[in-house]
Amino acid sequence: MKHKRCDKVAETVHETISVILSRGLNDPRIGFVTITAVEVTPDLHLARVFFTVIGDDAAKKSSEAGLNSAKSYIRRELGKVLTMRYLPDIIFSYDHSQDYGSRIDSLLREIDKEHDGDDTEHR
């Protein structure tokens, strides 16, 4: 059973962190970060925040380190928005789903190119 309160808290956390990032944090390690999803545990004590960043693996690692160092500031800002007894702990995780989707897309394009090449040979 999906908990409605978890969904509402996750949505609020997502919106709030997105606004904080759009205003900018004073950490040069954080690149162009996009929050893709937030999952909150049913007891509302943990929020897993998934993000993507433009760049290579070094940019991913430095952005994750920058986000983790800004956790206390982000939680303080969340406390101003959320009216809860306990603020959820935040875990930042890189979202690999877009990389996975890009890989599948490139494989499908390769297959399509090979298939188109076979069609021209048979004509």
State the CATH number of the domain containing residue 53: 3.30.300.20
Can you give the residue range of the structural domain that contains 65? 4-95
Task: Write the pLDDT tens digit of every residue in 78-96.
Answer: 999 888 888 999 999 988 7
Q: Is residue 121 part of a domain?
A: no
| Cut 0.85: pTM above it | no
> What's the angle, vertex CA 36, arms to CA 53 and CA 64, rounded to 5?
40
Task: Write the pLDDT tens digit of every residue in 2-60.
Answer: 568 889 999 999 999 999 888 877 777 887 888 999 999 999 999 999 998 888 888 88
State the total domains in the chain. Answer: 1
The token pair that represents 101 in the structure block: 């989707």
**92 vs 67: CA distance, rounded Å:** 7
